[in-house]
Amino acid sequence: MNKHGLRWGLLVGGALILIKLLLFMTSKSTMNSNFLSCTAFIPYLFGMYMAAKDQREAQGGRIRFWQAAKIAWLVVIVGTALVLLFNYLMYFVISPDLLDAMKQQMLVQFESMDMEFPDGTIEMMEEMMENNFGLIFKYSLFFSFIFLGVFVGFIGSMIVASAVEHRGEGEEDDLSTL
């Protein structure tokens, strides 16, 4: 495992956890905001860039595209795993009442949608969330890791790698070094 990717992944994950803890201490309702989820990509992109740049500097100013991409992707995988582990502990061990608050917030958002739903849809959603919300949330943590860590992280790592890549004159990317 690359030490730069691991270090920056831990730093990004730790920073996002610290933000969530501060929000938890000030206002529990803001912990579940969509804004927080969207702005989390900023620290990830910064950490991905810094890890690849640090590796490039450690190699004398040269780094191949796929090498930079792997390091950047490692930042996302480590950071996302750390944040999702924290979320699991926060919602199921430390403060289970947050799960109820999230459920209520989601029901309010669902009911406030300006859409026509078939008869019984809102009641079905309410019943499903009442009976199975904890299980649904556990699965959503897993799929969040798959989606964010694998899919979005891969795309982000390609973007960062193209920005950081620096090859020597006449060097080609060797796909056998993936």
- Alpha carbon separation from 96 to 37, 87, 89, 100, 119 (Å, rounded): 20, 11, 9, 7, 32
User: pLDDT tens digits, residue range 50-63?
Assistant: 999 999 999 998 89
Q: What is the pLDDT of residue 70?
A: 94
Top pLDDT among 67 and 178 is at 67
Largest CA-CA distance found in the chain, in angstroms, rounded: 66
10 Å CB burial of residue 145 (0-12, 13-18, 19+) is middle
Q: Return the structure tokens found at 112.
A: 């406030």
**Could you tell me which residue, 147 or 11, shows the higher pLDDT?**
11
Helix (H, G, I), strand (E, B) or coil at 113: coil
Please give the pLDDT value at position 176: 47
Per residue in 15-45, pLDDT tens? 999 988 888 888 766 666 666 667 778 999 9
63 φ/ψ angles, rounded to the nearest 5 degrees:
-155, 140
| Helical residues (DSSP H) of 40-96, grouped into ranges | 41-58, 65-89
Which of 83-97, 112-126, 144-158 has the least mean pLDDT?
Answer: 112-126
